[in-house]
Amino acid sequence: MTERITQEILNDPQLLSALADKIYQKLRDEAIIKKLEENSASIRALQEAVKSLQETVNRHTEAIVSLQETTKKQGEAIASLQEEVKKMGEAIVGLQKAVLRLSRQVVRLRVEVSSFTNRAGKGIEKTMLRLYRKSLELHGVDPKKVVHGMITDEEGVIEKGKTFEVDFYETNDHVYVFEIKNFADKGTYDQIIVRKKLFSSKYKDKKIEIFVVANYVDKKVKRRLEEEGVEIIASHVVK
């Protein structure tokens, strides 16, 4: 039966052609469907990849926005810091100017004080001697006899032939030497040592009595002078 049907199909060209068309269409439809399925899978995979990429882009975008915000804040902080530095710089310049002005005033004051403390002049020296007259008299000194004169280093104790200004007066057995200062400091000590050597060399047969008369005396200088046998007459001892 099957062979007869097969022979009839094979012997009938129209039937064979129609059957071939049916088989071709079916195969074609199956191939198309398979292709579509394959393409659908690829499309889904592509969509997943695009979705993942989009998520990555979103994360990067958020990170970029966050970085931009951080950069903006840092920029504002830097600008604020620069403004503070600018203000500080202006303050430092102002302080430097103030220090410079103060330094100039100190220099002027130092010159004025130095000119007074080193040797204020005969008038002021005599005034100070009168002010401290009672104290001097207690030491057996007559301030009225004090004279301003010169002493020459004849033996080269300090520098041979050099002349020094001094305030002193002489009796039969004593020589009273005076150093009159507003402020007796280390320089005063050095001057006293020089005068002590000069007078001791020149008046070998007389007792040398040295007095420092000052408004102010440095505490350490006072102690060192007293160790040298110098009498200190002062209003204030400065530590």
Average pLDDT over residues 186-208: 93
The residue ranking higher by pLDDT, 211 or 63, is: 211
- 134-145 confidence digits (pLDDT tens): 777 777 778 888
Q: Does residue 23 carry a pLDDT above 90?
A: no
Dump strand ranges (E) for the chain.
147-152, 163-170, 174-184, 207-218, 231-238
Q: Which residue has the higher pLDDT, 35 or 147?
A: 147
Confidence at 86, pLDDT banded by 50, 70, 90: confident
Distance CA 220, CA 76 (A): 59
Q: Maximum Cα–Cα distance for the chain, whole Å?
A: 182
Q: How do residues 35-78 score in pLDDT, each as one tens digit? A: 666 766 776 776 777 677 777 777 877 878 777 888 888 878 88
pLDDT band at 231 (very low <50, low <70, confident <90, very high): very high
Please give the class, per CATH, of domain 122-238. alpha beta
pTM for the model stands at 0.48
